[in-house]
Structure 1
Amino acid sequence: NILLIVVDDLGYSDLQCYGNVLVETPNIDRLASQGVRFTNSYASCTVCSPTRASLMTGKNPVVVNITDWIPGNQFLEGPKPYEKFIVPPINHELPLEEFTLAEIMSEAGYKTASIGKWHLGGEGYLPTDQGFDLNVAGYSKGSPPSYYYPYTRESRDDIITPLELMGDSLYLTDRLTNEAIRFMAEKREEPFFLYLPFYNVHTPLEGRPDLLKKYETKLEAHQGDTILRNPHFLAMTEAVDENVGRMMLFLKEAGLEENTLVVFTSDNGGLLLRGEPDNRFIRASWNHPLREGKGTLYEGGLRIPAIVRWTGHIEADRLSEEIIISTDLYPTLAEVAGVSIDHKIEGTSLLPHLMHSEPIDRETLYWHYPHYHLGMPGGVIREGEYKLIEYFEDGALELYNLVEDPGEAHNLASLFPEKASELLQKLQSWREKNNAQMPTPNPAYNPDLNP
């Protein structure tokens, strides 16, 4: 069996096992101690939809032309006058011709379910249109109107579908876990693939009331850096942990622990700040020691937690510094299921590394984000210890040695111009080879209007 848990917007240091001293995540910490915890794990993009497309296809977001969250800021609001570029159009649905992870698993005889966030298209492009037998709570939107029952909000007219209201008052994360456990219990005699993309810890930041009270009290007594911490966010994180614990307990009691591969990860770096005065929308994640967060091309936007456990098959309590990325899960899970991939993908199977500690045979990772978010349009290449960021508006280059400077405090581009030029050429060649769409000039551009 395969259980793939993806936590929305969970930052690199948002778990205790990754260094967070405020949040309590004993169940996820235990999961890490029972398997492999990665310290150089990357999301395929700095925002959600592209990474989810990569998980489903094993391809770079450029290849499926989903390079921004769906539908994207400029699609909704148009280009702002101080934005130099009009961003390229993207697919608003994962193309049906893509051979998804769910379709691979179905071919191998697995029962499949997607329970939680989808954000890869609406009607006609839902999980059940992409190979899943069951879809619970996955629809076109990227966040729920509310985590509180009945999961609606006056300012939004959408309803999480299909999510049958049960007449209880469960917190959304608890409810999704109930559905996940029900699915695993019903399919326990057959191989199953459960994709569980929690909506937590994405906005709206709404902690479960009992956990919210706990962290409000804890922050009052804590003497560290708490002014930027959010009790709602911490409560939402512990709610995930609690529900991971519930699922691990089910697997153990059902006798499925040794026959279930568990993957726990995120879709992008943690959200650092919001502009609203409402205290539910102040700074949330804690990406220390990494720079910035979601929506930027720095490590805080791209590096994410990743834990893999397969009791009896993978050595426990391992720490891996191998560089991995979201696309790797597609070939990894396919290999676990015994399925050969005969079409082109970008991912590399992690199974030899997980099972035998073999090094991962890959030199270079690429990102392409020609959109405005909390950062500017640009591209990234990481090769070995070096990372280069290219910004499209002014051609600015930033070069970092991530081994010596994981916080990206020292731009080395002027000190090592040859290395910067070498990486830039590789990045630009990769874009050309993959027909990466670039932004075009904004005819209404006026930098004087930038607030």
Structure 2
Amino acid sequence: MLNRSRGDNSAKLQPNVLFVTVDQWPGSLLGCAGHPVIETPTIDHLASIGTRFSNAYSECPVCIPARRSIMTGTSPRRHGDRTFQPSLRMPADLPTLAYTFGQAGYQTQAIGKLHVYPQRDRIGFDDALLAEEGRGALGGTDDYEMFLADKGYAGQQFLHGMSNNEYSWRTWHLPEELHVTNWTTWAAARSMKRRDPTRPALWHVSYTPPHPPLIPLASYLERYRARDIDEAYVADWALDDKRLPYPLRLARDYWTKLPAAQLADMRRAFYALCTHIDHQLRVLIGTLREEQILDNTIILITSDHGDMLGNHGLYAKRLMYEGSAKVPMILVGTADDQQVGCGVIDDRLVGLRDIMPTLLQLCGIAVPESCEGRSMVSADQRATFYAEALSGAKAMRMIRDERFKLIWYPAGSIFQLFDILNDPHEMHDLSASPDHEHVLKRLQELLRDELYGEDLEAVNPDGFVGVDVPSSVVQPNRGLSGQRGLHYPAPPLQDPSVVVGGV
């Protein structure tokens, strides 16, 4: 029988779990990963007392598919979304992370962004406090917007005028304590204080920044104003728009290329959002410490995908380059941990679907047979990692081993090959190099084994034939990439299957 006294719960209960996700944060954008500018002292410290997985990727670097992989421990092939389907429900036959923890006796709480349909579907969590970036028009009440209304700012979340999918920026327009990052932290810390002390807990804290809109607090932008910002890098293969693969030309046409000075300021705003989150994590850790449960809490921090931030003249996600597909992955064990390690850099290939089996194993909970991921603290390591995004002529596919990455664009059947170990910025395309022909063919064979569905129509027994390159161009962006407006009174309901702000 569990001892119900508050003082010795850590010795009696299974570990608690603080599982933090951020949105659109590149894996390289950490001080502990060697970035020359970004300030992430909290995450850096957590990496020093745990393990940083230096080769962590999103199976599909798009918001909804990535979160399906996180919550089910499965690949897009299994959970059914590699394109971004906002009205597709979580598969009923896949036990979720939250459901599995709940069945094992855990109290489970989600705070922030879930990005599921219907929006108030708890996907196994006991409760969810949502900040869904203004998606109330899809149906469902947003807890953060209710909070703003309670504070006297009903419907004013987006009066800063910045779009959820563009790279203009300005500082936050409301009092600092009303910023969504502060609200997410406050709501999570309150949940920790309101926990049932007789049961272990899983807190999924999901921050919406640094995903646009880029609206940092003025105090955080100020700390970056006086310093030089790392410049965007552009490879020779990215200089000629006409020779780019079709999906890259679409992206170039959709997002305006920023002049150097504006690009530097945009990065300052983006970095400011990241440092703000990093500092708010300290509040969560402090709350756990003061509640006397920090030593018995596992911490995992990751992102659903990254952002190109102007590198190679590209922005946002969806792409298979390191800036978009690679994510942070920091894991910290309990004080008496014997599995995670301390100050370890683990270079195995891991993905978002590995989170669920990892956390379950660390908590002594059986992993559902439906999970395709591999525990990151086991000896079971993969030799290659496959990722995919979008379909048809917009499709992009990737496979990498411990050294090389192959990207395939079915439209026109174009390949790119990079030596990631020696060329992490992907400056040199080796696909036409005679010295790397054997690498190209080996990875092509491995990639072909991963293909399914419509992709099989783009190959034949002789090789990769691809699909036709469309002559169509991007339509005029009349909606400013999904710009939000005044949210009081609430906007009318809209068709949830309509994709807003996409290329």
**Counterpart Cα distance in 2 of 1:5 and 1:348:** 19
Q: Aligned Cα RMSD in Å?
A: 3.5
Residue 48, structure 1, aligned to residue 41, structure 2: no
Of residues 444, 456, 463, the one that matches 1:424 is 444
In the alignment of these two chains, the number of paired residues is: 393
CA offset at residue 142 of structure 1? 7.3
| CA distance 1:448–1:183, change in 2 (3 Å) | closer
**Counterpart Cα distance in 2 of 1:223 and 1:36:** 28
TM-score, structure 2 normalization: 0.70
Residue 269, structure 1, aligned to residue 306, structure 2: yes
| Number of the residue aligned with 1:152 | 157
Of residues 148, 167, 171, the one that matches 2:179 is 171
| Number of the residue aligned with 2:97 | 101
| Number of the residue aligned with 2:204 | 195
**Counterpart Cα distance in 1 of 2:39 and 2:424:** 25
The structure having more radius of gyration, on CA atoms, is 2
| Number of the residue aligned with 1:315 | 341
Which structure 2 segments of 5+ residues have no match?
A: 1-15, 137-141, 165-174, 232-259, 459-465, 477-503
| Number of the residue aligned with 2:387 | 367
Q: Is the 8 A contact 1:118 1:140 kept in 2?
A: no
Q: Is the 8 A contact 1:367 1:380 kept in 2?
A: yes
Residue 157 of structure 2 aligns with an amino acid whose one-letter code is: T
| Number of the residue aligned with 2:215 | 206
1:382-414 CA-to-partner distances (Å, cap 9, x unmatched) read: 133222111110111122222222222222223
**Counterpart Cα distance in 2 of 1:362 and 1:181:** 37
1:251-310 CA-to-partner distances (Å, cap 9, x unmatched) read: 22222122100001111122414xxxxxxxxxxxxx79xx97622111221111111111
1:303-348 CA-to-partner distances (Å, cap 9, x unmatched) read: 1111111133143222221221111111111212322234233200
Which structure 1 segments of 5+ residues have no match?
A: 72-90, 159-166, 274-286, 353-357
Secondary structure of 1:239's aligned partner: helix
Secondary structure of 1:199's aligned partner: strand
**Counterpart Cα distance in 2 of 1:298 and 1:192:** 36
Residue 5, structure 1, aligned to residue 30, structure 2: no
| CA distance 1:368–1:390, change in 2 (3 Å) | same
**Counterpart Cα distance in 2 of 1:436 and 1:132:** 35
Q: Is the 8 A contact 1:114 1:127 kept in 2?
A: no
Q: Is the 8 A contact 1:16 1:25 kept in 2?
A: yes
| Number of the residue aligned with 1:281 | none
Q: Is the 8 A contact 1:127 1:134 kept in 2?
A: no
| Number of the residue aligned with 2:10 | none
| Number of the residue aligned with 2:244 | none
**Counterpart Cα distance in 1 of 2:369 and 2:440:** 33
Residue 27 of structure 2 aligns with an amino acid whose one-letter code is: Y
Secondary structure of 2:98's aligned partner: helix
1:171-221 CA-to-partner distances (Å, cap 9, x unmatched) read: 1111111111111122161201111110011111001232233333x34xx
Residue 338, structure 1, aligned to residue 364, structure 2: yes
| CA distance 1:21–1:417, change in 2 (3 Å) | closer
| CA distance 1:450–1:117, change in 2 (3 Å) | closer
| CA distance 1:436–1:246, change in 2 (3 Å) | farther
Secondary structure of 2:319's aligned partner: coil
Q: Is the 8 A contact 2:94 2:370 kept in 1?
A: no
Secondary structure of 1:196's aligned partner: strand
Residue 107 of structure 2 aligns with an amino acid whose one-letter code is: K
**Counterpart Cα distance in 2 of 1:412 and 1:271:** 21
1:27-57 CA-to-partner distances (Å, cap 9, x unmatched) read: 2221111111121111122221111100001
**Counterpart Cα distance in 2 of 1:170 and 1:437:** 49
| Number of the residue aligned with 1:163 | none
Percent identical pairs in the alignment equals 27
CA offset at residue 169 of structure 1? 5.1
Residue 384 of structure 2 aligns with an amino acid whose one-letter code is: T
